Amino acid sequence: MLLLVSVTGGPPVSELVVQTSHRFSCPASKVWPLLCDSRTEGRTSLLFLLGVPQPLQCRLPDGHGEVGAERECQSDRGTVHQRILEWLPEQRLSFRMEETTLPIRGFVDDMVDTIELLPVHGALQVTRTTSIRVSGQFRFFRRWLLYLGVKQVHHYVFRSWARLASSVR
């Protein structure tokens, strides 16, 4: 008996999109620098205690930002190295994960973040959209856990940026 198996396109993959917005009571000129050089701080939530990586710092290792530059973010569980895809100061920043030491490296094939800053009625609305390609077994379960974890990270970072932006004169 002959058994032929055809595999095309690799393992099944599904995409997850997480979007979160926050309104700041300061101009984009105070928030923009925090996207690429800031330490985060705040209360540790239950999800962080359960293993979601708690952000510590993001920075530009080369000291300047532009398309193609590296962005690096550190958490209590590892580091993410990213490549900047879009760089429109005080308007839009987009970057892709190139490598990570986080536990997600085994089932996250791709992660792209876009942060948009938009003046709205005397405030600044910042929207962060994270698109993640998840592969492997248990994708549904992993997507659900990633959604909760990424949403927690978004809120935590926004609260930290709000505190930092309000302290900048």
Cβ-Cβ contacts under 8 Å for 124 (sequence gap 6 or more): 23, 24, 25, 26, 27, 28, 31, 117, 118
Mean per-residue pLDDT, 36-64: 89
Mean per-residue pLDDT, 65-71: 97
Residue 101's pLDDT is: 96
Please, which pLDDT band fits residue 4 given cuts at 50, 70 and 90?
very low
State which amino acid sits at residue 16.
Answer: L
Please, which pLDDT band fits residue 17 given cuts at 50, 70 and 90?
very high
**Which sequence spans correspond to the domains of the chain?**
14-167
Mean per-residue pLDDT, 102-116: 94
Cβ-Cβ contacts under 8 Å for 52 (sequence gap 6 or more): 45, 148, 149, 152, 153
Q: Which CATH fold would you assign to the domain 14-167?
A: Alpha-D-Glucose-1,6-Bisphosphate; Chain A, domain 4 (3.30.530)
Cβ-Cβ contacts under 8 Å for 17 (sequence gap 6 or more): 129, 130, 131, 132
- CB-CB contact of 47 with 149 (8 Å): yes
Residue 60's pLDDT is: 97
Residue 6's pLDDT is: 31
Mean per-residue pLDDT, 110-135: 96
Across the strands, what pairs with 133?
A: 15, 110
Mean per-residue pLDDT, 2-17: 54
Residue 43's pLDDT is: 78
Provide the percentage of residues in the chain whose pLDDT is more than 70: 91
